[in-house]
Structure 1
Amino acid sequence: MVAVKWGYSVALLLLALPHLSWANQGKVNFREKEKQVLDQILGPGRYDARIRPSGVNGTADAPTIVQVNIFLRSISKIDDYKMEYSVQLTFREQWLDERLKFNDFGGKIKYLTLTDAQRVWMPDLFFSNEKEGHFHNIIMPNVYIRIFPYGSVLYSIRISLTLSCPMNLKLYPLDRQVCSLRMASYGWTTDDLVFLWKDGDPVQVVKNLHLPRFTLEKFLTDYCNSKTNTGEYSCLKVDLLFKREFSYYLIQIYIPCCMLVIVSWVSFWLDQNAIPARVSLGVTTLLTMATQTSGINASLPPVSYTKAIDVWTGVCLTFVFGALLEFALVNYASRSDMHRETMKKQRRQCEMEHAASLEAAADLLEDGATTFAMKPLVRHPGDALTLEKVRQCEIHMQPKRENCCRTWLSKFPTRSKRIDVISRITFPLVFALFNLVYWSTYLFREDAERE
């Protein structure tokens, strides 16, 4: 039964073979036609890639118009120190070359594809702010040329570039940077070649573009024709506006600096006699703050102006250094307090002598009537010294005017303790005032630059 079915199938196939061969004879192989068309338009002696195409409407004197558009695939890094950024993009150029017109056989051939750019004329475009660049050749060279039936040529290539980006870091890290991508003609002047942005969305950006420290806010296309001694050259540019992500710097720089400043204030709450603890705390916070500052500056170029981060780290370093100087002042005041204690003992002695002198004077007044005739007309030197000492003691004993601050400070017996108490209030208040001025100033300048 199986053999009968197999034999029946073979018979049907033999009967259909003449019809299949007739159908293949009537069918045109358009892949073979593409080869014929390429040989026809690019064959030897038919096309010269050294001659530029004619201008609009076939005018030989008019410049060749080349329309450009790019697709931004990724931005790998933005380097603040070298002032450069790296991008990967698909670059496309399109122009009209009437010498490449061909028969599309009723729309059967939509376009011809080439991978060798040397076979047709190419615009001499270059990236004027390029530092490094390379093509992509894995697995095959990422480049193609499409020739359309009416003579239009589309050139597309995937390239990676490292481009220079001059930056203004005065507001760093609250800044915005504008990095440009400039494309210009190297040898053809505007009389022969003109670059234009393609109408309708000339620059496309990949949707999931992610940068670690920046955000691409927007981009603008413009023209940047340049004039030199050899003529005027057509130029295109794209301005990419990047906003720096502040959250990273808030966590890595601003909050640690605030913590170091606050830790340095712990010294105000330690006993004035705890000299090793206060010295080690002040020196440690000062060295840590200095290391933090040097680490920040190591990642930035040595510019001639003051950056916002320099103001912040400089003031924080000053507060830490001021806390260390405050301990030196407290130490000096504690020695003064010891001297004052000695002076107080002498004052008490003066008061006791003054009291004794008053008692003696009272006794003299009681015996004034009997002893007046017996007093000599000239006083003894010892009496003059006693009166002078009494006057000095009376001067020291004069009551001083007191206000609320002095009354509050009088609760603390020593001057060194008063300095610590005043520092506990003054340092945080001044630092809070600095924060208010700092953030209002630089955030306002950031908004002004955005406008």
Structure 2
Amino acid sequence: MHLHTLFVIVLHVLHFSFCANVKVNFREKEKEILDQILGPGRYDARIRPAGVNGTDGPAIVRINLFVRSIATISDIKMEYSVQLTFREQWLDERLKFNDFGGRLKYLTLTEGNRVWMPDLFFSNEKEGHFHNIILPNVYIRIFPYGSVLYSIRISLTLSCPMNLKLYPLDRQICSLRMASYGWTTDDLVFLWKEGDPVQVVKNLHLPRFTLEKFLTDYCNSKTNTGEYSCLKVDLLFKREFSYYLIQIYIPCCMLVIVSWVSFWLDQGAVPARVSLGVTTLLTMATQTSGINASLPPVSYTKAIDVWTGVCLTFVFGALLEFALVNYASRSDMHRENMKKQRRQCELEHAQSMDATSDLLDTDSNATFAMKPLVRHPADPMSLEKARQCEIHMQPRPNCCRTWLSKFPTRSKRIDVISRITFPLVFALFNVIYWSTYLFREDGEDS
């Protein structure tokens, strides 16, 4: 019994030793396999792989991406920066090797020039670089049945033409385009990997945008030299409106409301009303120039231009309103002086008429002839007829005219009307503005 147990233990030890030796020998065979399939005269990296089933058709390269981060989206430069892991996979039957019963899953290379590589480039790229810390972030895996997987981490700055008509209530579509530079579709075709060709990191955070969705598509291009295979990813970004509400819209509303304070100041407070109007106008102009400095000079009108333009018009209108009030105030003073002079003249004329009437009464010869024909100016019948004519000529009273009659001067009436008109018109503008730009259908241009 003890001999049998000892014999079993010896067999296990020999088995493990044999497996360990086989494993070590197996790893040492990787160099032999690489020399066998990539040695001189055995593999030419200048020749593209064969097509499907070894035919002369185009080589099929399948693409998939992993978006690691999106750093910035610049409105003024119309570009965005992205860091991604880019992967290509294709079949090259010249690279088949013995996997020793599944023990050798794949071979790993770090030199891309030893095997054939697709000549893919990013057509809308402005800048780009590889990552070499601590070592180059790239690898090539060769599988036993000849499949090749190429993976690399890169950072790109890509152009993104934007339509800013609805800014800052807009959505932007930024594309990532990949195409073949030299091989036409007769030799090389790019396809998206089946399943999930594009992945995005879960905790992706952008300061002023939200990534709503992304779509994959094909964008083959035809030129004078042939047709080239092309893939693209459309990233749909929605601009975060809360930032602009706090930084632009609310301050502009406050400046417009502050400009209305001059309507409640006394019309004689000229320095206060002028300084208030000029200060709000300059502040609004500074706000507008600051907004335009962060945007490209486009030829069309943006939603923010409509807002700042109307707000600037209201502030400027409040300043012009004071100029009109000042002019009306001087006219009221001139009219009041003219009334006083007219009353003085009428009083002097009445006194002269009274003196003349006294002289006529003392003249006995003219009394009996003139009294039946001439009536005294203060005659009750004449006054009654004049009063009836004035009542007949006066317009019918209404509520607005009755309310305005409480303010005797035109300058005061202008201020009172402005207190009501300016807020009502501004509120109407807000209703039209927000209903036009905010409650719109997706993809609708202003």
Classify the TM-score, shorter chain: 0.7 to 0.9
Distance 2:17 2:164 in 1: 77
Superposed, which structure 2 residues align to 1:217-228 within 5 Å?
217-228=212-223
Indicate which of 55, 61, 66 corresponds to 2:51: 55
Q: Which residue of 2 aligns with 1:245?
A: 240
1:272 pairs with 2:267? yes
Relative to the length of structure 2, the TM-score reads: 0.87
Q: Specify whether residues 364 and 62 from structure 1 end up closer, same or farther in structure 2 by C-alpha distance, changes over 3 A only.
A: farther
1:44 deviates by: 1.2
Superposed, which structure 2 residues align to 1:23-42 within 5 Å?
23=18, 28-42=24-38
Relative to the length of structure 1, the TM-score reads: 0.86
1:344 deviates by: 2.4
Q: Which residue of 1 aligns with 2:297?
A: 302
**Alpha carbon RMSD of aligned pairs, Å?**
3.2
SS at match of 1:333: helix
SS at match of 1:449: coil
One-letter amino acid of the counterpart of residue 124, structure 2: N
Superposed, which structure 2 residues align to 1:180-191 within 5 Å?
180-191=175-186
Indicate which of 109, 122, 131 corresponds to 2:126: 131
1:336 pairs with 2:337? no
One-letter amino acid of the counterpart of residue 107, structure 2: L
1:336 deviates by: 0.7
| Higher mean C-alpha deviation, range 342-351 or range 302-311 | 342-351
Distance 1:234 1:225 in 2: 5
Distance 1:202 1:35 in 2: 33
Structure 1, residues 421-442: CA drift from partner, whole Å, max 9, x if none? 1111111000000000000011
Q: Which residue of 1 aligns with 2:250?
A: 255
Indicate which of 273, 276, 288 corresponds to 2:283: 288
Structure 1, residues 276-301: CA drift from partner, whole Å, max 9, x if none? 11111110100000000000000000
SS at match of 2:444: helix
One-letter amino acid of the counterpart of residue 53, structure 1: P
1:184 deviates by: 0.2
Distance 2:164 2:441 in 1: 12
Distance 1:208 1:97 in 2: 37
One-letter amino acid of the counterpart of residue 73, structure 2: I
CA contact (8 A) 1:136 1:159 kept: yes
Distance 2:198 2:14 in 1: 54
Q: Which residue of 2 aligns with 1:85?
A: 80
Q: Specify whether residues 435 and 236 from structure 1 end up closer, same or farther in structure 2 by C-alpha distance, changes over 3 A only.
A: same
Q: Which residue of 1 aligns with 2:307?
A: 312
Q: Specify whether residues 21 and 353 from structure 1 end up closer, same or farther in structure 2 by C-alpha distance, changes over 3 A only.
A: closer
CA contact (8 A) 2:360 2:366 kept: no
One-letter amino acid of the counterpart of residue 242, structure 2: S
Distance 2:390 2:270 in 1: 34
1:349 deviates by: 4.0
Superposed, which structure 2 residues align to 1:408-447 within 5 Å?
408-447=403-442
Identical pairs, percent: 84
Q: Specify whether residues 367 and 335 from structure 1 end up closer, same or farther in structure 2 by C-alpha distance, changes over 3 A only.
A: same
| Higher mean C-alpha deviation, range 402-411 or range 314-323 | 402-411
SS at match of 1:300: coil
Q: Which residue of 1 aligns with 2:6?
A: none
Q: Specify whether residues 21 and 312 from structure 1 end up closer, same or farther in structure 2 by C-alpha distance, changes over 3 A only.
A: closer
Distance 1:148 1:444 in 2: 54
CA contact (8 A) 1:221 1:238 kept: yes
Distance 2:22 2:324 in 1: 107
Distance 2:25 2:363 in 1: 152
The count of aligned residue pairs is: 422
One-letter amino acid of the counterpart of residue 115, structure 1: T
CA contact (8 A) 2:98 2:144 kept: yes
Q: Which residue of 2 aligns with 1:143?
A: 138
Distance 1:280 1:240 in 2: 49
In structure 1, list runs of 5 or more residues that go unmatched.
1-14, 384-390
1:56 deviates by: 0.1
One-letter amino acid of the counterpart of residue 38, structure 2: L
Q: Which residue of 2 aligns with 1:204?
A: 199
SS at match of 2:438: helix
Q: Which residue of 2 aligns with 1:153?
A: 148
Indicate which of 93, 117, 120 corresponds to 1:98: 93
One-letter amino acid of the counterpart of residue 39, structure 1: D
1:395 deviates by: 8.8
SS at match of 2:439: helix
Distance 2:280 2:229 in 1: 58
Q: Specify whether residues 340 and 396 from structure 1 end up closer, same or farther in structure 2 by C-alpha distance, changes over 3 A only.
A: farther
Distance 2:155 2:365 in 1: 120
In structure 2, list runs of 5 or more residues that go unmatched.
1-9, 378-384
Structure 1, residues 32-52: CA drift from partner, whole Å, max 9, x if none? 111111111111111100000
| Higher mean C-alpha deviation, range 259-268 or range 25-34 | 25-34
Q: Specify whether residues 38 and 247 from structure 1 end up closer, same or farther in structure 2 by C-alpha distance, changes over 3 A only.
A: same
SS at match of 2:44: coil
CA contact (8 A) 1:354 1:393 kept: no
